[in-house]
Amino acid sequence: MKVRLAKSAGFCMGVRRAMEITLFEANKGDGKLFTYGPLIHNQQVLDLLRSKGVDVKEEIDEHDKGRIIIRAHGITPSEMEMVRSSNLKIIDATCPRVAKVHAIMKKYDNKGYFPVIFGDARHPEVIGLMGYSRGHGVVINSLEDVERLPEEKRLVVVSQTTQDIDAYREIVDAIKGRYPDAIVFGTICDETYKRQREVRSLASEVDSMVIVGGYNSGNTRRLYQISRSTGRPTFHVETEKELKRSWFSSTETVGVSAGASTPNWMIKSVTERLKTMGKVRQHPLRRLLRKVFLFLLKSNIPVATGAFSLTYAGLRLSRGDADLIHPFLALLYVYSMHVLNRFLDKEASTYNDPGIALFYNQHKIFLITTSLVGIGAGLLLSLSLGIAQFFVFLALTMLGLVYSIPIIPWRFGYLGRYAKIKDLPGSKTMAEALAWGTISSLLPVIGWSNPFWPGVLISFLFVSSMCYVRCGLFDILNTQGDLIVGRETVPIALGEENALKLLLLLNGFFGIFVLLSTATGIVPNLGYPLISCFVVSFFYLTAYQKGWMKDGSPLQAIAESNLLLAGLLAFIWKLL
């Protein structure tokens, strides 16, 4: 069955921020950690946080010690004062958009306005908002409630940030009819509005809809209700285990969206399961070819082929000529290291991409065998080139394997936090870039009689920068899973926005560097067409930064194809 995923599905900005703050604090291991009430409305996430030592605290005791996180929904001023009077260190993860509504409530309450809140009176966000009205306001959720509002009052009207935008407009129109001078604020989050609009549009284009998220999540239930209102068969599930084949017996295309408190790994698990269900109209040969294609895609063949292509381009850039032995060595090395490190670090894969994790579990014997064969073939091939190249390839292989293996015991205290090389902050992206640059540009130099070192250096920087930008993007896409397992990647250390800026800066710098090196004759004219690789990198980084493209196969396909583009340009340059 074909699955169409809504672009806006999953964590909203406020929830993502709260989760990242909580996971970051949990990974620090700096004493007890609590959240004041459930962090978000998703039981699976709460279970995960509990497994990492994050407890939920409903009541505050003055003798409590440790750290406490204020959830994304926010709390009342009196509750905040109570927390401040304890011995707990406060970490405020209130959504900035909710905090903005707090400020509106406080300002107009002080001016004597009567606050009216459109929302669910039992929702934590609304309870927090009511606290800023000092009990003077009222919560409404229907047109009938508007009729019961008191007369001769100056009204200020706000909404719970996750409410239905159309329902709020009806309420506002009714209020304006009775109170022309009422001050109304559009406080429904832009992401909420976009998500609701997208569900309506997607439901009109598919055979059925699945909404993923907690049953006690208000915004998820609203997405479910909006989808059902279109007349399209709609199903609300928390996990992929609740899906039933009978629901999709006549479905060819299913649409999927998710609430603001639903993490990426749960959405991906649902979409992977849906692909195996429903009605399929495909020729057997086409179905077989698709299975082969997906198998190759998930088995790291594309990235290994990209290493072959990038090495070929790097060799031609450094000396104007290239063999196929060293690109093939790079292919064997990258394939084997990527496969084995996935098995050595499978916990992160479970959260970053459940589909890939399942694939690796199903084909464990084949993948491990082929990766070991790849290492063996690489060692034999490098030995045929000379003893020096053999030892360099062996050293790179050993470093690649040691990357995910503990080398410092946990009993060494602080140092034990960095038991593996991959535990070092930002090491993953840099290690991969340096390994690619070494296998592609420095290893071949050993066999050259008189290498031109400036050209070799530029080739090394070209390959390494291409790899660093690609790997850096994937680190950004995998932030949730890496935070869960405690990995300190560049996006986690700098923040997603700053990490993207860094990648764009590095991409531009090295693009200009290669351009100047070509213009001054240090490297062949191949440098000119290779600049287009930096342009493609700029495009996909900017597309993600601006929200034009989200985490998914198209974005990753462009990043991987950029590596193939380098080799293709080098091959065409040779022919011309």
Instruction: Please list the residues that pair with 55 across neighbouring strands.
Output: 34
Instruction: Decide which of 2.60.40.10, 3.40.50.11270, 3.40.50.1820, 3.20.20.150 is the CATH code for 10-95.
Output: 3.40.50.11270
DSSP result, 61-130:
-TT-EEEEEEPTT---HHHHHHHHTSEEEEEE---HHHHHHHHHHHHHHHTT-EEEEES-TTSHHHHHHH
What local confidence, expressed as pLDDT, does residue 100 receive?
94
Instruction: Determine the residue type at 421.
Output: I
Q: What's the whole-number mean pLDDT along residues 369-382? A: 95
DSSP result, 259-279:
-TT--HHHHHHHHHHHTTSS-
Q: What's the whole-number mean pLDDT along residues 450-474? A: 93
Which is nearest to 276 in space by CA: 564, 1, 574? 1
Q: What's the whole-number mean pLDDT along residues 317-344? A: 89
Tell the burial category of 354 from Cβ atoms under 10 Å away from its Cβ (0-12, 13-18, 19+).
buried
Q: Which residue has the tokens 């014997």?
A: 365
Chain-centre distance for alpha carbon 66: 30
Q: What's the whole-number mean pLDDT along residues 488-500? A: 86
CB 175 within 8 A of CB 157: yes
Instruction: Please list the residues that pair with 237 across neighbouring strands.
Output: 212
At 419, the pLDDT band (50, 70, 90 cuts) reads low
CA distance 389 to 433: 19
3-state class (DSSP) for residue 211:
strand
CA angle 52, 126, 203 (to 5 degrees): 80
CB 144 within 8 A of CB 170: no
Instruction: Please list the residues that pair with 253 across neighbouring strands.
Output: 2
Which is nearest to 367 in space by CA: 397, 409, 338? 338
Residue of 20, 25, 79, 125 marked catalytic: 125
Length of the chain: 576
Has 125 been annotated as catalytic?
yes
Mean confidence (pLDDT) of the chain: 87
Encoded tokens for 243? 């899906």
Residue 320 has pLDDT above 80, yes or no: no
Which is nearest to 473 in space by CA: 569, 539, 424? 539
Q: What are phi and psi of 460, to 5 degrees?
A: -60, -45
What pLDDT, in 10s, does the model give residues 25-60?
A: 888 877 899 999 888 888 888 888 998 899 998 888
Instruction: Decide which of 3.40.1010.20, 3.40.30.10, 3.40.50.1370, 3.30.1330.10 is the CATH code for 192-274.
Output: 3.40.1010.20
Tell the burial category of 333 from Cβ atoms under 10 Å away from its Cβ (0-12, 13-18, 19+).
buried
CA distance 139 to 18: 26
CA distance 261 to 101: 20
Write out the residue limits of the CATH 3.40.1010.20 domain(s) in the chain: 98-190, 192-274
What pLDDT, in 10s, does the model give residues 113-153?
A: 999 999 998 899 999 999 988 778 899 988 999 988 988 77
What local confidence, expressed as pLDDT, does residue 411 receive?
47
Q: Which residue has the tokens 């008189």?
A: 450
What local confidence, expressed as pLDDT, does residue 410 receive?
46
End-to-end CA distance of the chain: 45
Instruction: Please list the residues that pair with 2 across neighbouring strands.
Output: 253
Record: fold of 98-190: Cobalt-precorrin-4 Transmethylase; domain 1 (3.40.1010)
What local confidence, expressed as pLDDT, does residue 513 receive?
96
Which is nearest to 311 in space by CA: 338, 329, 336, 297? 329
Chain-centre distance for alpha carbon 116: 37
CB 50 within 8 A of CB 23: no
DSSP code, position 546: T
Residue 219 has pLDDT above 70, yes or no: yes
DSSP result, 233-254:
-EEEESSGGG--GGGGTT-SEE
Q: What percent of the chain has pLDDT over 90?
A: 50
What local confidence, expressed as pLDDT, does residue 413 receive?
45
CA distance 314 to 331: 14
Side-chain half-sphere CA neighbours of 436 within 13 A: 35
| Contacts of 139 by beta carbon, 8 Å cutoff, 6+ apart | 117, 118, 119, 120, 121, 126, 130
What local confidence, expressed as pLDDT, does residue 421 receive?
59
3-state class (DSSP) for residue 494:
helix
Q: Which residue has the tokens 């034990």?
A: 416
Least confident of 10-14, 212-216, 231-235, 462-466: 10-14
Write out the residue limits of the CATH 3.40.50.11270 domain(s) in the chain: 10-95
> Quick count: other Cβ atoms within 10 Å of Cβ 64?
15
